[in-house]
Structures are given as structure tokens and as C-alpha cells.
Amino acid sequence: MHFPPRYPWSNFPPVSIHSPESAVKKHPLYNASKSGDPEAAFRLVSELVSPSVTKSLIDRYATELPILVSAHALESSGVNAIPAALAELLEEKTGFESDTDVVQTNVVSHTGASGIHRIAHQAMFTGTIIRNRNYLLVDDFVGQGGTLANLRGYILDKGGRVVAATVLTGKPYSATICLESQTLQRLRDKHGKNLESWWPDKFGHSLDCLTESEARYLEKIESFESIRYRIAQAEQS
């Protein structure tokens, strides 16, 4: 079985979020943008991108010369145009180079999905990565952060480096994508060695490669047996 690669987080910075979720999802151009209309998506992000967040990206990463790489997420209704539009706009405003070669290869249907569905259906990527170059991840939304984790893993696996991530919107608590040591310890304490040994066989990475939100979600589930059952059910849905 082929797994999307993942790596431990190593003090990865919080995801930079441009706009509140309500402003994005209630915007009249949102549905068209999610369904693949590039013109609608560019107008959407032009209205909602944050000048202060953009400036902070320039101030912090200009010396890193990162390449902007977007998730190009496949939705059941089409190719989500928002990540590419956000990367295009940020290229204009930051002067950072933008990648157009990396694409998602599978449909995961994460929009509106449950947490367990997101974990069971992992995004996978293909495309050329330049070894030893810095990358800045771009997506439309951060929820559990799994897509960003897998895109980061793909880039690292191909010899690139990932310095940060930015999204158009997401819940404020989801900005913390780097797994905190105390969260990992609570997850281990609750579900024991069963989860620790089963997880790499199932997903190809150890528990320390989970995002903070993924680990918190799994911690809330009552037992390891329930985690395994729910993932099996989600895989069949």
C-alpha cells in the first residue's frame, strides 16, 4: 500500500489565516470558486486576502525566497480554484515565485466532511520539487491540517524544505498545526501501545507526524477499538 509521506513537525510555525471563515463561506463567489471557476476564485481572494498577513509573510520569509505551492484540491464538484488563485495573488503581492506543477492526485472530498473521514481519506500529490529550495504552502482552508501535512511531507520527501503555510480561512485554533508534546502524550496515555503500533501500519507514519488538531480529535474518541472501527467505516463510505 502506498502512503502519503509525513514527517515530525520540528517547531513548524502557526498557519497564517487571512480571513474569518464566515466571510469566506458566505461570499457570493465562494461556491463557484470551490467548483473550479478561476475568475471567481481570483476575485474572491482579491477581496478577502489580508494586507497585514501578506506583509508579515514578506517580512518573515523574503530572505528565504520560498516557492508558493498550492494544494490544487480535487473536489467532487471539480478542481477547487481557491488555492491556486491565492497563490497567484500572493505571487503578485510578495514577489515570491509560484509553482504550478505540483497537483493533488486523488479526490478526498474533505469539504464538509467529518474528522474521521478526513483522516481516513488522505490527500496525495505528484509533481516536480526542486531539491534544497524553500516552499511556502498555500491552501483555501485549514481544518485538521491533514492536507497541508501531506503536501509538506511530499515536498520534504522529494528533498525540498517547507518554511510555512498560509490559507484563506480556517478556525483560529486550527492555525496551530505543529503537534504539541503534551497533546501527543495525552493521546498515548489514553489509547496506549495499540494505537502507537497500529497507526504506522495503517497510515505509514508515526503518531508524532499527526497535526495538533488530528491528535486532539483522536484523543476525544473513547477507545482505540472505536478509532479503528470508525476509520474502517469511513473508508467504505
163 & 193 share domain? no
Q: Percent helix, strand, coil in the chain (nearest 5)?
A: 50, 15, 35
Look at the block and give the residue holding cell 469539504: 111
Domain that holds residue 211: 181-236
Give percent above pLDDT 90 in the chain: 83
Asked whether the predicted pLDDT for residue 94 surpasses 70, the reply is: yes
Of 175, 197, 220, which residue constitutes the final position of a domain? Answer: 175
Indicate the number of domains in the chain.
2
Kindly tell me if the per-residue pLDDT of 110 is higher than 60: no
How high is the pLDDT of residue 106?
Answer: 82
Return phi, psi of residue 22, to 5°.
Answer: -65, -40
The reply to whether 168 and 187 lie within a common domain is no
Q: Range with the lowest mean pLDDT among 35-39, 153-157, 177-181, 195-199?
A: 35-39
The reply to whether 32 and 105 lie within a common domain is yes
170 vs 142: CA distance, rounded Å: 5
Domain boundary, last residue among 147, 175, 203: 175
Residue 3 lies in a domain: no
The pLDDT tens digits of the residues spanning 66-77 come to 999 997 765 555
pLDDT classification of 149: cutoffs 50, 70, 90: very high
Looking at 159, 175, 191, the residue that finishes a domain is 175
| 125 shares its domain with 194 | no
Domain match, 39 and 128 both: yes
CATH for 26:
3.40.50
Sign of CA dihedral 58, 44, 128, 108: positive
